[in-house]
Amino acid sequence: MHQLILLAQRNKEINSWLDQHPLVLGGIFLAIGAVVGGWGLYEIKTGTAHSKRGKELKGTEAKALAIVRIVAGAGCVLFGAYKALFG
- What are the sequence ranges of the domains in the chain? 22-86
Nearest alpha carbon to residue 68 among 44, 87, 47: 44
Arithmetic mean of pLDDT, 78-85 = 93
- Burial of 59 per CB tally in 10 Å (0-12, 13-18, 19+): exposed
**Residue 73 predicted with pLDDT over 90:** yes
CA distance 9 to 5: 6
What are the tens digits of pLDDT across the range 49-62? 988 888 998 999 99
